Structure 1
Amino acid sequence: MLRLKNLEAGYGNLKVLRKISMHVNSGEIVTIIGANGAGKTTLLKTISGLLQPKSGDILFNKQEVKAFPPEKRVFLGCSLVPEGRQVFAPMTVRENLILGAFVQHRRKQQETVPKDVDRVYALFPRLKEREKQLAGTLSGGEQQMLAIARALMARPKLIMMDEPSMGLAPLIVKDIFEIIRKLRAEGNTVLLVEQNAKAALRIADRGYVLETGRVMLEGTAEDLLMNREVQRAYLGRDLDTETKI
């Protein structure tokens, strides 16, 4: 579904991504882990069109999209849930969702919007309870749910999430990751950037480790969970020490 070839991007003269090559197959959850400053958010911004690459290819369903603006990528089926949620605070929950359905209006499929609203309310019952509440008054967890629901209103083939667990209480984090599982079970494809490496790898099919803008490791989620370097750097464990104990 998504294939990146030798992708390079950055800000001005600062190069952040260096020869990134990776792929996401239809129906997968693929996670990207790495320390702060590794380039994870820059990568999602480049895929979504918020940042133009300096070189390389971005193929979405075998179509080169690197020259396309963000809205056209959404139209093709590639949606981003941004870091920090970025809901429209002065608008109600329902109004935020309707804005997320702008693609359906462009497709002249407005009749599908009420059904899509009902679908995301079934996935996030708490949002249904608060549909007339201003988004800015929601809790952090509820705003994260709204950001995901808003992205789903575009009926994406690929949904990308940037740090969905950031700043949330452990019980809410558990709910968010369970929702991501449900999305995959419903046939969605997910590209997940997450600092909570252990939780992300537990629900993912495959993963990539980014360091200083480069892919340093890739493999199945199970293999990465058991990798000694990943354990030491991202999971807070040292297998050699545990073995001695």
Structure 2
Amino acid sequence: MLLRLESVNVFYGPVQALHEVSIEVAAGEVVAVLGGNASGKSTTIKTVLQLVKPRDGRVLLDGEDLAGASTPDVIARGVASIPESRRLFAEMTVEENVLMGLYAQRRGLTRAQARARLDEAVAQFPRVRERLRQVAGTLSGGEQQMVAMARALIQRPRIIVIDEPSMGLSPAYVDIVYDLLFDWKRRGTTMLVVEQSANRSLALSDRAYVLQNGAIVMQGPSAGLARDPNIQSAYLGGMQ
């Protein structure tokens, strides 16, 4: 198993955010984590990246416990992140933002190698390629999301963790982003996707977990969960 969370408990001060959460992602698999606001979805991503540390339980990458690892360590081991709200450097150019994905590997690459990786990463994103010299803060939300996706790809990651890929985007850009994610799936990219949009993420993923109040309340093959009326009514409040 490439990524495994085992009985993870996370606290923010006295408040428990995750309760005995166990999630597995195999190589080449797309796994979705669904839930409403304050369900623990983003905390799950932060725990994988070691931005927050579990009080109990373990996070394993290829069987190796990430306890004690810093976030740069996790990234260097092949975990890329596309965070909620993109988290770009608004005053830097698009090119500089994409190249930030190489930060953890920068000492092992020549300038020519970094340029080749940049060209490879933006090949799927014509809008990004056309705007490499443009300041990132002047882009639309959808264009910024593509920059964040290219920044993840440039790492040649083993797994990409994606937090709310549709948040804040116009319907047209949501379609574009999910078309790209489906293409990544066809290419065998391993992904852990955290999302409120149940229908889209269940269509994309192989398996899914449903979080409510920090605990997993449902899990299974995505096709089966998509047919379960409880997914929309009881657990996700009718979110599409």
TM, length-normalised to structure 1? 0.93
Cα 1:110–1:159 change in 2 (3 A) is: farther
Partner of 1:154: 155
How big is the shift at 1:38? 0.4
| Residue of structure 1 in register with 2:173 after alignment | 172
Aligned equivalents of 1:46, 1:77: Cα separation in 2 = 15
What is the CA-CA distance between 1:191 and the residue it aligns to? 0.4
**In 1, Cα distance between equivalents of 2:84 and 2:232:** 25
Say if 2:120 and 2:154, in contact at 8 Å, map to a contact too.
no
CA deviations on 1:7-40 (whole Å, 9 max, x unpaired) are: 0112111110010011001111111100100000
Partner deviation per Cα, 1:64-99 (whole Å, 9 max, x = no partner): 112200000000001211111110000000011112
Q: In structure 1, give the amino acid aligned to 2:207.
A: R
Given the superposition, is the C-alpha separation of residues 206 and 193 from structure 1 closer, same or farther in structure 2, using an over 3 Å criterion?
A: same
Distance, in Å, in 1 between the alignment partners of 2:166 and 2:231 is 20
Whether the 8 Å contact between 1:93 and 1:134 is mirrored in structure 2 is: yes
Distance in 1 (CA, whole Å) between partners of 2:32 and 2:3 is 13
Listed one character per residue, the Cα deviations across residues 104-145 of structure 1 (whole Å, up to 9, x for unaligned) are 323346543222211222111100111110000000000111
Q: How does 1:42-53 map to 2 (within 5 A)?
A: 42-53=43-54
- Unaligned 5+ runs, structure 2: none
- For residues 134-187 of structure 1, what are the alpha-carbon distances to aligned partners after superposition, in whole Å with 9 as ceiling and x for unaligned? 000000000111111112222210100100100111111011011111222223
Q: Compute the TM-score of the two structures, normalised by the length of structure 2.
A: 0.94
Query: Which range moves more in the overlay, 19-28 or 225-234?
Result: 225-234
Whether contact under 8 Å (2:207, 2:222) holds in the other structure is yes
Structure 2 Cα separation of the partners of residues 63 and 12 of structure 1: 27
What amino acid is aligned across from residue 143 of structure 1 in structure 2?
Q
Match of 1:39? 40
Which consecutive residues of structure 1, in runs of 5 or more, have no partner in the other structure?
238-245
1:236 aligned to which of 221, 235, 238: 238
Provide the rounded CA distance (Å) in 1 between the counterparts of 2:110 and 2:60: 26
Paired position in structure 1 for 2:120: 119
Alignment of 1:191-230 (within 5 A): 191-230=192-231
Work out whether 1:26 is the aligned partner of 2:27.
yes
Q: Secondary structure at the match of 1:146?
A: helix
**Rounded Cα–Cα distance in structure 2 between residues aligned with 1:76 and 1:149:** 18
Q: Tell me which amino acid in the other structure corresponds to 1:105.
A: R
Two-structure CA RMSD over aligned residues (Å): 1.5
Cα contact 1:197–1:235 (8 A) shared by 2: no
Mean Cα deviation higher: 116-125 or 45-54: 116-125
Higher mean displacement: 104-113 or 192-201? 104-113
What is the letter of the counterpart of residue 100 of structure 1? G
Contact residue 32 and residue 192 of structure 2 kept, 8 A: yes
Q: Percent identity?
A: 38
